[in-house]
Amino acid sequence: MATEETNQLSLDDKLFTVRRKTLNQSHITLDERLCSECLNRICTYVCPAEVYVWDEAAKKIDVRYENCLECGACRVACEAIEWANPAWGTGIAYKNS
């Protein structure tokens, strides 16, 4: 059961157990036509790694793909999201595995 203490962990705390090797190219792309008409922005809720962040100034979703945990939740949640496996040798690995 989650405790109040675990709910207050920062994103960096949550991501401490994984290491990531990323390329300069995102493995996630969005159909921004759908994003511009989106009312609920569910991507900003379902992602445990806060990859999708609404940029109010730019009026678009900022995709912080470097944080992706490859859980797949966003692919199920929204059809505007094109998600491909990170290139071979990149992506996440658990530090303790």
Per-residue string for binding with ligand SF4, 68-87, x by CB under 6 A?
Answer: xxxxxxx---x-xx------
Q: Which of 15, 42, 53, 91 binds ligand SF4 (CB under 6 A)?
A: 42
Q: Judged by CB under 6 A, does residue 47 bind ligand SF4? A: yes
DSSP 55: E
How many residues of this chain interact with ligand SF4, rule: CB under 6 A? Answer: 24
Q: Judged by CB under 6 A, does residue 92 bind ligand SF4? A: no
Cα separation values, 37 from 32, 59, 60, 64, 71, Å: 9, 11, 11, 21, 26
In this structure, how many other beta carbons lie within 10 angstroms of the beta carbon of residue 9? 11
Q: Are 65 and 28 in contact (CB under 8 A)?
A: yes
In the complex, the residues that contact ligand SF4 under the rule CB under 6 A are: 30, 34-35, 38, 41-43, 46-49, 51-52, 61, 68-74, 78, 80-81
